[in-house]
Structure 1
């Protein structure tokens, strides 16, 4: 008689789809148990006799508005209710900070490709550490130990971001190591900001990337404000920035990326929000940057003008600019052109939604639907392996807010589900925001 097949009981792994777990405490996430979010300690941990690991940390910037001071605002220690001994934690975490050369001994994970800003940030910090080591060996060290600690900690933090999914994927439980690197950088960044250390811009950029990847889509303005306060303290013009960049490798690239975040975040809002950084900050882009993010320089200028209110102050001129951009859609079939075309359509959507002429409402709606149609056609024709996919997020979000048919929803849903970099899902909250709008419209 043949042997009966063994019956194996397979337990489901991970969380069911559609259930948010990103706010659960660290311990409940690691145990795959639903958390009741009670603070400072949750009930599931208490019933299990475990120490509650605390909740997700988010950097919150605070400002000093006292008259007569020029203190640079810094991030709060951590927006988290806890009665643990902070001083003991800081001492223990500082002891874990590696020497300046340790980050170079372990290269950045190859998972994040050259288009990732983390790769560039890691390279900038390594260059600073290398120069600090050379000047120290020659007895002419001009970089303070505080700066070395900060830059090294940024390297460690970026290494964690690139080698694990803890920060870049809300489905993954946050590891103790990842939380330690985040807290260590936060402590070093606070210390550097007390003296307005210009190298602190690297730490701000690292946290900005974390928020862009893992936070609510478009809600990363607090980091931009922190960066502007620090920049205002050191440079008030492009010439000042050029001089400062001689001592901080990659500074102009960091400012350019923060300016890009500023532009994208402002365009996601229709409440009259304005750019945080100054115009000269938004003029540091070069052709390489535009090529990297897949947005043509002329299209960027239209998007920038829209954030400055051109749709209201000069509607005719804005309309002509938008028509010019739309006329270029579909001229090429390359990966870059697909990304560029989505930004051109995004310019039309952003301009139309900001026009306030009530007499043109029917025409506006027809044109808006047409722009969303064209953008969705571009997304449908773009390959899932397109390296520019993550840079189509702003156009996809603007189209999602103005979707007018189930077909639009299906196309945009596919985009958000395919929006990954090195196998890690990006902008996890964007689809949720779009879905909420679609439900209100009765499209899903």
Structure 2
């Protein structure tokens, strides 16, 4: 089985290493040798491992048009030109293995259709959760179930930041800078901290879990850049931990709820103990009940492990086919949740009655209220609501923002007991 590897960055190097290190045992297991024939790089003169000597090419067509190459492995990242290379490979009758969550989340429907037409496989285990096996279990092991809920921590960067803020009392900005220095966060961390990376992964999980095609643009997405150390402190005082949660659910009417949002989770939640750069995914099925998948969501070797496992599946002729109906996503305004709200307000009589009056007019009642002095004329007000319609929460907050006594609506975080 000859493969063409497109990309020799962190994951690409890992794929080379895994095939070299475990090639003999893989061959004994599947009865066929896996050989990397060609590797696409940008710079052929760069000093590299002897393992890739004689395999480097600069022209993608040397891989895409090579009749001896059975499988194209795309680990370049970014949407373009990876999308075009994947389409060309499929059109040429080659199976494709990719770790590209952006391409799969945005273009999976057309690529899966093309793979089906050409009777080849499109496999993407490494696109969600790095080394955590989740795509394959959803397609195969859990195929007898009706999956009705998926929930998880899908981004290691944001989980690391929130974990460090909780454990060390640091500010968001301080931990982010540290994460960038350690290589846990990109120089431009927008995709991670604003929740876009988690939304792409959630789109893939929802599509597979519910058999409904979901794209990231359909998912309401809010990141963690507004989370302060004060929010972390209040969460702990109230018995919660803040995590960036990706959530998907299908209802009996076939409508879907899907969002990415900071959430205060209880200390009894299985996700509470998921810290640092680790990821975890909870799956609820009608036959199997609740399952949790846990592990490193990124990194050279975990991701390479998932990529090579997909290559093995191609050798074993395990199909990667599927077809999905378009999803009907419930607007975020129609969802229901408890909410944590932190306000900075003028410290004077009558302010609280105005706030509770506005909330009451929208049918929103409160579980708890905490008020603390921040400065001489300002107070910090922390509210926990009962379950309420999100649209009504948003409407009330828009009205509260316009009160001249309100300096700032500092935070709004979902609250879950489980």
> Normalising by structure 2, what TM-score?
0.24
* Structure that is richer in strand per residue: 2
> Normalising by structure 1, what TM-score?
0.23
Higher relative contact order (CA 8 A, sep 6+): 2
